[in-house]
Structure 1
């Protein structure tokens, strides 16, 4: 993939005007409050005896509207006292998969909490187990246009609320130090992590990796890749619906959540990424409110980004943020 976006110098100074609804904060405050008021229990059960150095637990917690959402809780088998936790969100089309695919954070000494993404888990990986019981109007195959007619019905309203409730759930666990919780994820998971950072208080770190769901106004029509192209296909059929669709998307733009996030953050970007163009990543990064922010740049990588190199950078970053306590 040849370079197609702005130069690195231009990206580092890229601060576009991104639409923000006047009732953005009220919308999200009401959404989160309503889901917390819906209640529901966090249930934890042992999931496997195959592992000698980690303990694996199957978790169900209440998400949007109290809907049950699945997660893995993976803990170091040998631990003393409550642990710092990393809440991880999954990329587009994937589910929480199998515990063996999610061992890294526990091996580094953290409580690892991997959230299943409602309605997803059948495109790649080892599957998901969380249904999305809410319907939508006519939509393009995929998730980007489900309920796009309004912010109240849009799919990511439920997913982002699930993410906030995942942070709530992990903070309720006796194995976790509620004051030391970080969020992370790649691609869609990175976009969810930015939303969680903007909607949750007191996080110690946010580590979005090649994040999706940022700067919709540029991404849609700028890149020919899915998932953004799903919205292009929807608009090509629903002629004249552009204003309505983009108004809905403005409630879910990572740039607007970044403006409200203050936890120390480490982003990453692939400068050849055709899925999440570099300018969309930098739009969120440059808008990020927190003063402690870093960017890992991979000049010759596409959407795979830094992969294992970036995980090691995240682990080192989180250890610094926590003062070497994990």
Structure 2
């Protein structure tokens, strides 16, 4: 049993639970997250076909193998530390991590998407966010509404309040109030 399998399952079930709440318009539910939450939002977007939108910033677990080559920060450093002790376990580790690859979830998504990325992010390298963005909704058969905002001089925090304002403006345009 893997921690992230439970997290992803819980995130998908959270969408189903939110949709049953009084006062919630089930057709206007979006997945939103930053870092680990961004990776989970992408997983939800790939597993829940009728989301209204997905808003992702600095997504974790996107472009995992490349991230392991680029950084020792955060969880990628933990994976590298594990593999430094468990020599020869790379193949098994990569096979397991492939189940969590955010780019794979992004490819299956359908909802309009808004991405944010700090180009100096050492925790979640920007190449992972771009990989997810570039392949987003690839398997849907339609060109999705998607956009990405890059912050060249920011790290994991990305655009902070500036980006949140952009997200809210975008969300209001994509999922307008009834």
Q: Counterpart in 2 of 1:301?
A: 154
TM-score when normalising by structure 1? 0.52
Matched, 1:193 2:45: no
Structure 1, unaligned runs of 5 or more = 1-152
Q: 1: CA distance between counterparts of 2:49 and 2:23? A: 20
Shift of 1:227: 1.6
Q: What aligned pairs does 1:243-262 form with structure 2 within 5 A after superposition?
A: 243-262=91-110
Aligned residue for 1:201, secondary structure, equals coil
Q: Counterpart in 2 of 1:208?
A: 56
Shift of 1:221: 3.1
Instruction: Deviation per CA, 1:2-41: give whole Å up to 9, x if none.
Output: xxxxxxxxxxxxxxxxxxxxxxxxxxxxxxxxxxxxxxxx
TM-score when normalising by structure 2? 0.94
Aligned residue for 2:41, secondary structure, equals helix
Q: 1: CA distance between counterparts of 2:93 and 2:2? A: 10
Q: 1: CA distance between counterparts of 2:146 and 2:154? A: 21
Shift of 1:220: 1.2
- The Cα RMSD (Å) is 1.0
Structure 2, unaligned runs of 5 or more = 138-142
Q: Counterpart in 2 of 1:321?
A: 174
Instruction: Deviation per CA, 1:87-108: give whole Å up to 9, x if none.
Output: xxxxxxxxxxxxxxxxxxxxxx
- For 2:87, which of 217, 227, 239 is the aligned residue? 239
Matched, 1:227 2:75: yes
Matched, 1:179 2:27: yes
Q: 2: CA distance between counterparts of 1:318 and 1:291? A: 15
Q: Counterpart in 1 of 2:140?
A: none
Aligned residue for 1:229, secondary structure, equals helix
Q: What aligned pairs does 1:73-88 form with structure 2 within 5 A after superposition?
A: none
Aligned residue for 2:28, secondary structure, equals strand
Contact 1:214 1:281 in 2 (8 A): yes
Structure of greater relative contact order (alpha carbons < 8 Å, 6+ residues apart)? 2
Shift of 1:179: 0.8
Shift of 1:311: 0.9
Contact 1:221 1:229 in 2 (8 A): no
Q: From the CA coordinates, give the structure whose radius of gyration is larger.
A: 1
Shift of 1:273: 0.8
Aligned residue for 1:179, secondary structure, equals helix
Aligned residue for 2:26, secondary structure, equals strand
Aligned pair count? 173
Structure with more of its chain in helix, by fraction: 2
